A and B are shown apart, each in its own frame.
Chain A
């Protein structure tokens, strides 16, 4: 297996045993990016110069047998809605195309502290609003398994970069499935931790009560490693939680004898693609073989999840995006007369259609006279959805279903039908509403050779069990070892 097709843990082992030098690894990564990314278009910007400088520094540390971090020398790509000090952070939006943050996001700071090498910033749907990465105002990212297809979204750039072997790991963000769905569509592992497990400081907000930074890796062990680095309480994020961070890799290979797996009947919907359904059934058979019990559960309010999500997320987004006004940073319209006109033109020129649509929907849901009927009601239904999960987790240890109802679809196929696009996230949204952790792991391929993802959900702060359940499947299968040919 070629170096860049390896997992981070494999590469790390080679670095620490001095089989390869970090400079060489990083050089290879940039060479491959230059060869492949003009086709895939996963990166918005590259950080080559400082990445190589940092690589030399880590090599020196290793040469001198100095202590190095958990991610020593590992290239990591970062979604372009996570602030990186001195490195442009655009959210794939025209309105922030010239924005260079004066500070690092908490997760970026953690990567640096553990000697990871940030190689560049990856493409996304503008402000993470979308499920295909087609809403980027800069470029359309392609699925490495079939470049006519979307990589999913909104963390499509981060998913494609890992799937195309441009980087072993990347960070994404997940508000309604934006890590798990592209992971599924690109055949990699995507983990969304519990809301509050990872600090949101420096993650450019979309839906504040839903957003969570997530990991995108080639396998479950790498997901455990990356989560280990970014999890924990951050005093700069009031919603991050003090709960201790366990050692995620320790005991990951224990058996799952007696594990109770819940299958919600509400997830077996008509919209599910036949190949996805088959992959799910095969996966359950593997779990049974491993000694798990499959139990039917019900999440009765699932049918309202998408509606609730698009009210809550858009309401919060409409407020979060009001700061992009041309006053302090970002672009400012040059042909405005007066401050109101400046606001209007800056935002009209700076935001794309999907962002504008969501701002309008969000403002509507919050406006006086509609607040009770929309936002307040949605918040109440959201509580019912949480309670559904609480009740289900009384009976089972985890819930399993498909990540996405369909494998990767063609670029342009759903671009003009927002409602159909919104249904891409039907299985992933409930975890964000409930705040619970979820992971998508490769569980097969469609007849057309496109990857299919299996979603596993557990209780709040049960990432360790989540990774354990995922790992036990991965160990029995080889889907995660398949690499896209590009």
Chain B
């Protein structure tokens, strides 16, 4: 394509506070309609907002994690527009003094690191939800205000992305940041993480930006990518025909996989922003800011790089581990108990993840604790059980949460490493299989495998396989 695609993203993320931004109502998802409401979030006449400090601190944390400049003065503004799900018909948001400005986030695409600049980070309140009746021809809609007033973080990037791979990486990296800082649960299916894209095209090598089109209603990361691909193609075709791109807002139609015009720039709303007189400006002193900054954990990108250098893990393994903070924490706790990063990583990325996935559980919900996985690896290393038995023990650990030692004892799984005992079993197998011995002596290699198998079978799998191999060879090769 002769065009360069220029993409910026606006991200909305519901903050994981227990209560709403300006009143004490619960933010819990999924309650019956209008059961988590009060005069304040219903915008009854005469009510006033009181800021939830926790929500503000979460927003500060994210602004700091995105390396934004945080001014010591910030305030809220009213953004006016009429919509039935917006009880006051204005949204308390930020416009004139955003909490964070001019930040950045590093993303990685195919091993290359790229810096995406963040235009601003600000805090605002969520709207309610319209419920349209399913019956055809209904002349009414219902409103559920449970969500109205839930704290919402808006993160606006600069148009610094050029490919869908970069967009994908930006969304994933941002999502991980929000999860790592524990300020949002990022459940896209519940709407707690949403994206809007703005896209423009320009001829490669040209510096000025083309007219941009904003796309809303992108309910999953997959749709973001599809919408950008669709929009880039649509704009390229228009430009190829010599037409111009209208600055407009379009809606993504996920069923027909295309975007449709919502409104043009001329129809754009005048939000009539002005400072919210019911709330005091928030003054951020150094002490407060540094307390918040110090609460930011190591972020995924830095952690991945550390896993590679400190534990000599592959990029692939490190990425798997840092995908989920709980998983990466699990890994680090294991390594603190036993310095075998590669072996522990294998257990975690293969067995632990597989079992969690099969059981549809989060890592934190599994019964196995890091110390127990460490014990399991230790008893394999000591030779108490074989690695084959260990897999069996692991499943039992997942199911019951019991310590591996206990499982081994209860089930009598301790490996037989007694030379005399193994020797006598071997003698029995040799005398019972003269034909196979002949085959072995003729040079048939799989005869040995068969005999080892017979010994293991006789010992119910408990014989130390390495010893069986060595002892058997010794007796046969005499």
User: Which A residues fall within an 8 A CB radius of B?
Assistant: 81-83, 89, 91, 96, 99, 101-103, 105, 200-205, 208-209, 235-239, 315-316, 318-319, 322-325, 327-329, 339-340, 343, 363, 366-368, 371, 375
Whether B46 contacts A105 by the Cβ 8 Å rule is yes
Also in contact, A325 and B50, with CB within 8 A (given A101-B45, A319-B80, A343-B82)? no
CA–CA, A136 and B10, complex, Å: 46
Also in contact, A202 and B89, with CB within 8 A (given A239-B280, A327-B84, A367-B272)? no
Cβ contacts B81-113/A at 8 Å (1 or 0 each): 010100111100000000000000000000000
Instruction: A322-B89, A325-B82 given; name 5 further pairs at CB < 8 Å.
Output: A238-B279, A239-B279, A322-B90, A329-B45, A371-B272
Whether A319 contacts B78 by the Cβ 8 Å rule is yes
Let me know if B401 is at the binding interface, CB within 8 A: no
Q: Of B36-44, B119-127, B407-415, which binds chain A? A: B36-44
Residues of B with C-beta under 8 A to A202? 46-47
Whether A103 contacts B39 by the Cβ 8 Å rule is yes
Q: How far is the CB of B384 from chain A (nearest CB, A)?
A: 62
Q: Which residue of B lies closest to A325 (CB)?
A: B89
Whether A323 contacts B272 by the Cβ 8 Å rule is no
Instruction: Tell me the B236-286 residues at the A interface (CB within 8 Å).
Output: 270-274, 277-280
Whether A319 contacts B45 by the Cβ 8 Å rule is no
Also in contact, A201 and B47, with CB within 8 A (given A103-B39, A368-B270)? yes
Also in contact, A203 and B280, with CB within 8 A (given A327-B143, A367-B272)? no
Whether B48 contacts A200 by the Cβ 8 Å rule is yes
Whether B90 contacts A238 by the Cβ 8 Å rule is no
Q: How far is the CB of B23 from chain A (nearest CB, A)?
A: 9
CA–CA, A81 and B90, complex, Å: 21
19 contacts between A and B (CB under 8 A): A83-B44, A91-B45, A101-B39, A101-B44, A101-B45, A101-B46, A103-B39, A105-B46, A201-B46, A202-B46, A204-B45, A236-B48, A238-B48, A322-B80, A323-B87, A343-B82, A368-B270, A368-B271, A371-B272
Let me know if B210 is at the binding interface, CB within 8 A: no
Whether A316 contacts B277 by the Cβ 8 Å rule is yes
Q: How far is the CB of B273 from chain A (nearest CB, A)?
A: 7
Whether B46 contacts A328 by the Cβ 8 Å rule is no
Also in contact, A237 and B48, with CB within 8 A (given A323-B87, A323-B88, A327-B84)? yes
Let me know if B456 is at the binding interface, CB within 8 A: no
Q: Which residue of B lies closest to A235 (CB)?
A: B50
Residues of A with C-beta under 8 A to B88? 322-323
Whether B84 contacts A201 by the Cβ 8 Å rule is no
Q: From B49, B84, B274, name the one whose CB has the most chain A CB atoms within 10 angstroms.
A: B274
Residues of B with C-beta under 8 A to A315? 274
Whether B44 contacts A208 by the Cβ 8 Å rule is no
Residues of A with C-beta under 8 A to B43? 323, 328
Residues of B with C-beta under 8 A to A89? 45-46
Q: Which residue of A lies closest to B42 (CB)?
A: A328
CA–CA, A102 and B39, complex, Å: 8
Residues of A with C-beta under 8 A to B46? 81-83, 89, 101, 105, 201-205
Q: How far is the CB of A357 from chain B (nearest CB, A)?
A: 17
Let me know if B338 is at the binding interface, CB within 8 A: no
CA–CA, A218 and B279, complex, Å: 35
Residues of A with C-beta under 8 A to B273? 366, 371
Whether A329 contacts B272 by the Cβ 8 Å rule is no
Let me know if B313 is at the binding interface, CB within 8 A: no
Q: How far is the CB of A212 from chain B (nearest CB, A)?
A: 13
Whether B48 contacts A319 by the Cβ 8 Å rule is no
8 residue pairs, one from A and one from B, having the closest CB atoms: A322-B89, A208-B277, A209-B277, A366-B272, A204-B45, A202-B46, A204-B46, A83-B46
CA–CA, A111 and B409, complex, Å: 74
Whether A319 contacts B278 by the Cβ 8 Å rule is no
Q: Which residue of B lies closest to A328 (CB)?
A: B42
Cβ contacts B402-420/A at 8 Å (1 or 0 each): 0000000000000000000
Let me know if B51 is at the binding interface, CB within 8 A: yes
CA–CA, A101 and B47, complex, Å: 11
CA–CA, A99 and B143, complex, Å: 19
CA–CA, A362 and B49, complex, Å: 22
Q: How far is the CB of B31 from chain A (nearest CB, A)?
A: 19
CA–CA, A477 and B229, complex, Å: 84
Q: Which residue of B lies closest to A324 (CB)?
A: B45
Residues of A with C-beta under 8 A to B39? 101-103
Q: How far is the CB of B19 from chain A (nearest CB, A)?
A: 14
Residues of B with C-beta under 8 A to A105? 46
Whether B278 contacts A239 by the Cβ 8 Å rule is yes
Q: How far is the CB of B439 from chain A (nearest CB, A)?
A: 87
Q: How far is the CB of A25 from chain B (nearest CB, A)?
A: 29
CA–CA, A318 and B278, complex, Å: 15
Residues of A with C-beta under 8 A to B84? 325, 327, 339
CA–CA, A189 and B359, complex, Å: 74
Whether A83 contacts B45 by the Cβ 8 Å rule is yes
Instruction: Tell me the B15-44 residues at the A interface (CB within 8 Å).
Output: 39, 42-44
Residues of B with C-beta under 8 A to A208? 277-278
Residues of B with C-beta under 8 A to A339? 84, 141
Residues of B with C-beta under 8 A to A340? 82
Residues of B with C-beta under 8 A to A209? 277
Q: From B39, B143, B277, B280, name the one whose CB has the most chain A CB atoms within 10 angstroms.
A: B277
Q: How far is the CB of B103 from chain A (nearest CB, A)?
A: 27
Whether A319 contacts B50 by the Cβ 8 Å rule is no
Residues of B with C-beta under 8 A to A323? 43, 45, 87-89
Residues of A with C-beta under 8 A to B47? 201-202
Q: How far is the CB of B372 from chain A (nearest CB, A)?
A: 48
Q: From A204, A205, A315, A322, name the one whose CB has the most chain B CB atoms within 10 angstroms.
A: A322
Q: Which residue of A lies closest to B145 (CB)?
A: A328
Residues of A with C-beta under 8 A to B141? 339
Q: How far is the CB of A167 from chain B (nearest CB, A)?
A: 22
Cβ contacts B379-403/A at 8 Å (1 or 0 each): 0000000000000000000000000
Residues of B with C-beta under 8 A to A368? 270-272
Q: How far is the CB of A432 from chain B (nearest CB, A)?
A: 12
Residues of B with C-beta under 8 A to A238? 48-51, 278-280
CA–CA, A73 and B78, complex, Å: 42
Q: Which residue of B lies closest to A329 (CB)?
A: B44
Residues of A with C-beta under 8 A to B80? 319, 322, 366
CA–CA, A366 and B272, complex, Å: 5
Residues of B with C-beta under 8 A to A237? 48, 50
